[in-house]
Structure 1
Amino acid sequence: MKKIDIKIFTFCVLILFVAASCVGTKINKNEVIVTNIPVKIKNVDSIAITNTPLLFDVKLEGMKWVDSVYSSMSLEEKFGQLFMIAAYSNKDAKHVNSIEKLVKESKVGGIIFFQGGPLRQAKLTNRYQSISKIPLFIGVDAEWGLGMRLDSTYRYPWNMTLGAVQDLKLIEKLGAQMGQQSRRLGLQFNFAPVVDINSNPKNPIIGFRSFGEDKFKVAERAVSLMKGLQSQNVFATAKHFPGHGDTSKDSHKELPTIISTKESLIDIEFYPYQKMFHEGLSSVMVGHLNVPSLESRRNYPSSISYDVVTNVLQKELGFKGLIFTDALNMKGVSDFKIPSEVNFEAFMAGNDVLLFPENVPATIEKFKEAYAQNILSEERLAFSVKKILKFKFKAGLNKYQPIVTDNLYKDLNKAENDVLQYELYENAITVLKNTNATLPIKNLAEQKIAYVKIGDGNNDSFISTLQKYADVTVVEDRNLDSLQVKLKPFTTVIIGFHKADGAFKNDDLRLDELAKINFIAQNNNVILNLFSKPYALLPFDNFDAIEGLVISYQNSAISQIVSAELIFGAVEAKGKLPVSINSKFKVNDGLSTEKLDRLGFTTAENVGMNSEILSKIDGIANKAINLKMTPGIQVLVARKGKVIYQKSFGYHTYEKSIKVQNSDIYDVASLTKILATLPNVILQYDEKKINLETTLGTMSPVFKGSNKESINLKDLLSHYAGLAAGLPFYKAAMNEAKLPSYIYFRKLPEENFTKRVGDSLYIRNDFSDKMVDMIVKSKLSGKKEYKYSDLTFMILKDYLEKTTGKTLDVLIQENFYRSLGMNNSTFNPLNNFDKNRIPPTETDTYFRRQLLQGYVNDLSAALEGGVSGHAGAFSNAMDVAKLMQLYLQKGSYGNHRYFSEKTFEDFNTCYFCAAGNRRGVGFDKPQLGSSGPTCGCASMTSFGHTGYTGTMAWADPENQIVYVFLSNRTFPVAAENRLSKANIREDIQQVIYEAIIN
């Protein structure tokens, strides 16, 4: 038997004893084992020791690589590994050369990049790596994503915004996305997350960078973000140890003091670190702080304190990962000593990597001198350098590959980024006050809403989204008294406090802004929406005067969109306040709000569609414009109650003077049938005033005794009644010279001539009666077959008006448009809207002999004064989508039921499909054969309509899709319908269906 070395035997026995005592056990709730010493910790949950992930451990292969590399290194190369120098990709050649010099001559081990751009940084990374004997660590301080430092990259929400999110899986998902982007850019470290507990509201440097003031909430979110990052093999770095939250000074500028006792630090500040250590945290960054309870030397920075870095962090808390200093150029430490001494002290304190050091060559000389004098031992040097090499092996730098720059921008800016961003804000935005259920805003028909802006930040997305829900008027006036005069007519005033999303920007409410909010709140029903950190509310003390209080946290475009959705109920409030606001609102406060079935907004991927495929719509729309099939187009796609694509293309005319905007109003032509006449007929049916067997003779006495007396509603609306397609009404209004007859027209309005047909052209008010008479006397087809007819809806318009005593334009506003928030939909739009918002439809060279802009293109509808059952409505894609969504939801919108589900199903049924008639009752349906209105890919339950001016509205219940296409293809003259022949509308619909993932 071989002799056993007694030292080895004793060591093995000790290891087995420790393992046996730990495996399968949990530490007492009030104790955490740190090295061999139990340290009392208050309020720590039981933490299992078994299976603790140690990301900094490497297997035998790794240790062989580490030992091999270390043994081959010169002393200077070992010293060089301790430095991570600062680099920029937006500086000149002089800077690049200086970095190359440090890599080549000082053998530095890592680079932390700051400002610049992703492609430039990638190229520089490849360049610097190519000249380094040992692959470099590449890191970035990107707490809210690469966009914190680099242009053309993504910015995620700040930690304080994430502090309001209750779904921790979303934060882990965020960490994973940040990790993916970091790896794609060749990074091994992201110096995040900040785990400082922001207990001081006036903290000038942490603030919104903190998850909040509750240690448990901070720890949960920090662990989640860390797990996400490290799941992508990017090392997370918790900062700023021992805790920068309870300070009133900025360590970039001076040395802050932490007055907490050690017991308090252990109880509060160390708690997130403990949690993260036991979940496998890779690294810690030590801040520049004066902490008398941990370091006895007066005003001695924690980053260079042996007691803090070694005794507390490593020995007492047992952290075995990499330890970084905070940037050593910061005034909190750089004013303490000259750079080489600061750097040396930082290393001797127990830090492994010196971040952003100044004067590296002088520091290396300092290291050499200390090494020669045995002040710096080989063991101490090997401890950190080998640890650094272990992490390099773990990161795969032993098999380093240059960054592939192809498609870099695309890879860093995937659609999934916005997908998650929407989810985060939908879960973060917090409602703190909701008196009398002010939120969400309901009963739009009874509301008159104003918006007042405060602050210097952009508010475009907020305003545009608010105005997609209701007629929201922007009101401005510096004088408070005159402002109130303007606000007096409004039932609700939304105040938006917008501050730019700039890092460290002062976004507190100024005294004049506070006075303005107070004044408005005292005189109006107010919803205050804060697009800044919650602390901005600290000086505000008049919460009782506000009916609704919303914290949206940041002023990003998506935050503004989601916040507007919340105000109108398309999303519900889920966020909880991460910090306290004086004594009024406490951490974790947050009210839930009702979700209404109104259209919302999100990305395609959030509703199971592919945005890249959907983007092909752009090419089809631009093709139509470039080939002059139409001067302009609006396209909207919604799925599962969310608008996922809304774009406008081209111009009002081929002169290209006015670009098409989403808010512009188009002549929707035959869409009028299902947007104005049909919904009112459905109401009559739902109220059992008519049924599908009700005859025209019963509905309208003028048809009694006529050849149409026995036509029932089902046949009429299925275009199965044998009516003529249309009648030449205009001929009855012309004189022998084929001009508008003086019998029926005037150039100026007169009594009985008030219906406007065009500029300087008014028709006699009773001409519509003559048109009805012509319909009554018109011939019917000799056999029962499908024949599309405008007369159907002209008849129904006459029925509705005579039954209700109200004109169709009034009826549709009262019954649908106002309550739906279709504030851009109307007949005769020139009565309500600026002409420049209305693309012209045609230059009429035959009857009106003028440009038709704001006047209905259809001549028969024009002869009725612009209000007809088959044409005359003007709208935009967003408004059309609301009514189509109402249909899709079978009669409900905004949690208001307009008609029953059964009623809708009765109208969305094809009763004569077997006879080759594809039509539903009022709705068009997909083709039965090879030709029809759709791409052929829509389900048979789908429905909609197309219009002569180049319009289409279609909804598909099975796939939960709404598709709207608007154009003025008839401009300048309604000649050959090239838009239809080229299948532009159908091809776009085909793309929509191809984009469906699930």
Structure 2
Amino acid sequence: MAPLLTKSSITSDPGCRKSRVDWAGCAREGKAGREMGLLDSMSLEEKIGQMVMVGFEGPELTPSDEEFIGRYEIGNVIFLGRNIVDLAQAESLTHRLQEIASHRRHRVGFLLSIDQEGGVVARLTKGATVLPGNMALGAIGSEEWASRASEVTADEMMALGFNMNLAPVLDINNNPDNPGIGVRSFGEDVSLVTRLGVASIEACQSLGVVATAKHFPGKGDVTVDSHLDLPTVAHSRERLENFEFAPFDAAIRAGVGAVMTAHVFFPAVEPEPDLPATLSRNVLTGLLREELGFEGVLITDDLFMGAIVKRYSIGEAAVRALVAGADIALLCHGRAEQAAAIEAILDAARVGKISRERVDESVGRILRLKDRFGLLDPGRYLARHSLERVGSAENRHVALEIARGSVTLLANRRGIIPVAPGGYPDLAVISPDIRGLTQVEDGQLTDSPLAAALRQFAPGARDFAFSQSPEVGEIRDAVDLARSADLVVVGTYNAHIYNEQGALVRALLDTDVPVVVVTMRNPYDIVQFAAAETCIAAYGFRECTMRAVAELIFGAIEPRGRLPVSIPGICPCGTGLTFQG
């Protein structure tokens, strides 16, 4: 097997990193001759196949899957948790897809993408290293650690055959009520998000994996989840330019290979009421292409989200996105719906609703990206790499060190922590059943990752798991357990949205038992229990993060994290206590 790629093994023509591409000029100079030759020789069906990215249902390619891929000349695939069983299976599956590409008339490799943001959004969990997410990195504030996290992720992705990460998130989360971003963002400060985002992009792409800046033009300040319906960002154009757009502008200048759209309405840019950015020519072509100068590949967010399907058929949405300037329509689910979307795109191209020039612009950009990342060379994209570094002790140590640097002590008024050895012999751990909250197939999860981590220090710890919105009976049972313990550690998961979790914590605080609260996703949860005397922001629930929380509670590490968002009336941005105060 070939060795894993390193930074030094990735070479690229500086011309590939230009923000604007003169296709005719590049062809004359010989820089894009290969792509242009391919483009000229491709049929319409082959071109349209490059302009979609599809998901499929299971952990292997069925004959039906292969027939579908062949019939529509599919050029790009997204992997979700349902497609991953273990490391060997994942690598075999990605390799099989590239084998299919290598036997086509035009031997153009697949973009094989995955959402491996780290933290709460990770598709590779079974045997791979799952690093803390963006807000944990924001709590450290170090470009070096952001780069290191991105390198580990890209290294493991390449070993498994994935060549495109649908990350990093460049949304600036300055709205505590944002239901879909939160800890997926680096924080609320434009400079912090920009610095860490660019560092992540450069590290990822230096190892041969396409980075994807998302969700353009920015959905950090929304109160509706676009999976469910259409959010609006109603700020002025001046505010957007100085805030939401800024990280994307920096990413473009840093050479990011791809940008993903947001299913969000921006009235300051798009005058048509309730037209999502994904379908807006003013946003995708006018703003992103012409004003910001992006000439990489523009991919939609999944077109099956509520913000889109509540207003458009899947075929209409796909066509409108491509007409507006998107290069790839992302279609994650449903074979019949995927086929309907592709047929609609083909029909629109045949009658000129999507012009041949528009098709060639997109396919030219896609081919140029694929050439930059070795996907026009079967010798490169068929190379198989050692899996020994995937989930290695070294990489897991990196994840743990990031977690240790990020966990943030928000309150410790009675000095309950650090817990001295034997100080509280009877520990009760009360936390949400994470498996029921994440809605993601995830082999790393246990009933209570928090309890599992704390048992490394208190083997006899008892635990109780509650639901997303605990009922009265659950709250009563949690209180009964607490009253029989010497110390309670309670975890929350989006309690700022689910008020019943706040009620549970407040009921625990009303007992005479010392309580340590751990926010296992968004730190905004503390608004529900501002009276908590001891509170830790963890920014996630992964094994490395829960281990760091346990070490902090028992004094094995000092708290070093700094809150990268503000919690109005409670904690300003930058809050972070030490054990000394």
- TM class, shorter-chain normalised? 0.7 to 0.9
Which of 493, 496, 499 is residue 489 of structure 2 equivalent to? 496
In structure 1, the residue matched to 2:508 is: 517
Q: How does 1:310-325 map to 2 (within 5 A)?
A: 310-325=285-300
Which of 346, 371, 378 is residue 356 of structure 2 equivalent to? 378
Residue 140 in structure 1 maps to residue 107 in structure 2: no
1:135 maps to amino acid = G
* Whole-angstrom CA distance in 2 between matches of 1:120 and 1:504: 37
TM-score (norm 2): 0.81
* Whole-angstrom CA distance in 1 between matches of 2:477 and 2:76: 57
Contact 2:45–2:72 (8 Å) recurs in 1: yes
Residue 571 in structure 1 maps to residue 557 in structure 2: yes
Contact 2:490–2:518 (8 Å) recurs in 1: yes
**Cα distance change on mapping 1:519 and 1:170 into 2, 3 Å:** same
- Deviations along 1:450-482, one digit per CA (max 9) or x if unpaired, are 5332223524443333338xxx97699957997
In structure 1, the residue matched to 2:527 is: 538
Shift of 1:220: 2.0
Residue 397 in structure 1 maps to residue 375 in structure 2: yes
TM-score (norm 1): 0.49
* Whole-angstrom CA distance in 1 between matches of 2:571 and 2:482: 29
Which of 535, 538, 559 is residue 545 of structure 2 equivalent to? 559
1:348 maps to amino acid = V
Residue 174 in structure 1 maps to residue 149 in structure 2: yes
1:74 maps to amino acid = S
Shift of 1:231: 1.5
**Cα distance change on mapping 1:120 and 1:518 into 2, 3 Å:** same
For the residue of structure 1 that corresponds to 2:403, the secondary structure is: helix
Which of 315, 323, 326 is residue 351 of structure 1 equivalent to? 326
For the residue of structure 2 that corresponds to 1:80, the secondary structure is: helix
* Whole-angstrom CA distance in 2 between matches of 1:295 and 1:558: 43
Shift of 1:392: 0.9
Contact 1:147–1:154 (8 Å) recurs in 2: no
**Cα distance change on mapping 1:244 and 1:451 into 2, 3 Å:** same
Contact 1:81–1:109 (8 Å) recurs in 2: yes
In structure 2, the residue matched to 1:244 is: 219
Contact 1:203–1:248 (8 Å) recurs in 2: yes
* Whole-angstrom CA distance in 2 between matches of 1:438 and 1:384: 59
Structure 1: tracts of 5 or more residues without a match: 1-49, 596-998
Structure 1 stretch 354-363 or stretch 164-173: which is displaced more? 354-363
* Whole-angstrom CA distance in 2 between matches of 1:343 and 1:485: 57
**Cα distance change on mapping 1:509 and 1:176 into 2, 3 Å:** farther
- Deviations along 1:916-965, one digit per CA (max 9) or x if unpaired, are xxxxxxxxxxxxxxxxxxxxxxxxxxxxxxxxxxxxxxxxxxxxxxxxxx
In structure 2, the residue matched to 1:462 is: 453
Percent pairwise identity? 28
Contact 1:509–1:536 (8 Å) recurs in 2: no
Q: How does 1:398-797 map to 2 (within 5 A)?
A: 398-401=376-379, 408=387, 410-435=388-413, 439-441=417-419, 447-448=423-424, 450-457=426-433, 458=448, 459-467=450-458, 486=484, 493=487, 495-498=488-491, 510-520=501-511, 523=512, 526-543=515-532, 546=533, 548-593=534-579
In structure 2, the residue matched to 1:217 is: 192
In structure 2, the residue matched to 1:68 is: 37
- Deviations along 1:717-736, one digit per CA (max 9) or x if unpaired, are xxxxxxxxxxxxxxxxxxxx
* Whole-angstrom CA distance in 2 between matches of 1:176 and 1:392: 20
Shift of 1:119: 2.9
Q: How does 1:141-156 map to 2 (within 5 A)?
A: 141-144=115-118, 147-149=122-124, 151-156=126-131
For the residue of structure 1 that corresponds to 2:117, the secondary structure is: coil
Shift of 1:157: 1.6
Residue 107 in structure 1 maps to residue 82 in structure 2: no
For the residue of structure 2 that corresponds to 1:153, the secondary structure is: coil
For the residue of structure 1 that corresponds to 2:376, the secondary structure is: helix
* Whole-angstrom CA distance in 2 between matches of 1:294 and 1:481: 51
1:103 maps to amino acid = I
For the residue of structure 2 that corresponds to 1:236, the secondary structure is: strand
What root-mean-square deviation, in Å, do the aligned CA atoms of Structure 1 and Structure 2 show? 3.4
* Count of paired positions: 525
Contact 2:141–2:192 (8 Å) recurs in 1: no
Shift of 1:160: 2.4
**Cα distance change on mapping 1:210 and 1:254 into 2, 3 Å:** same
For the residue of structure 2 that corresponds to 1:467, the secondary structure is: coil
Contact 1:80–1:106 (8 Å) recurs in 2: yes
Contact 2:318–2:345 (8 Å) recurs in 1: no
Shift of 1:340: 2.1
**Cα distance change on mapping 1:464 and 1:77 into 2, 3 Å:** same
Shift of 1:90: 2.5
Residue 281 in structure 1 maps to residue 253 in structure 2: no
- Deviations along 1:594-636, one digit per CA (max 9) or x if unpaired, are 69xxxxxxxxxxxxxxxxxxxxxxxxxxxxxxxxxxxxxxxxx
**Cα distance change on mapping 1:71 and 1:508 into 2, 3 Å:** same
**Cα distance change on mapping 1:80 and 1:529 into 2, 3 Å:** closer
1:454 maps to amino acid = I
For the residue of structure 2 that corresponds to 1:131, the secondary structure is: helix
* Whole-angstrom CA distance in 2 between matches of 1:206 and 1:516: 29
**Cα distance change on mapping 1:448 and 1:209 into 2, 3 Å:** closer
* Whole-angstrom CA distance in 1 between matches of 2:65 and 2:19: 30
For the residue of structure 2 that corresponds to 1:539, the secondary structure is: helix
In structure 2, the residue matched to 1:131 is: 100
* Whole-angstrom CA distance in 1 between matches of 2:344 and 2:136: 44
Structure 2: tracts of 5 or more residues without a match: 1-13, 434-447, 465-474
Shift of 1:563: 2.2
For the residue of structure 2 that corresponds to 1:560, the secondary structure is: helix
2:118 maps to amino acid = W
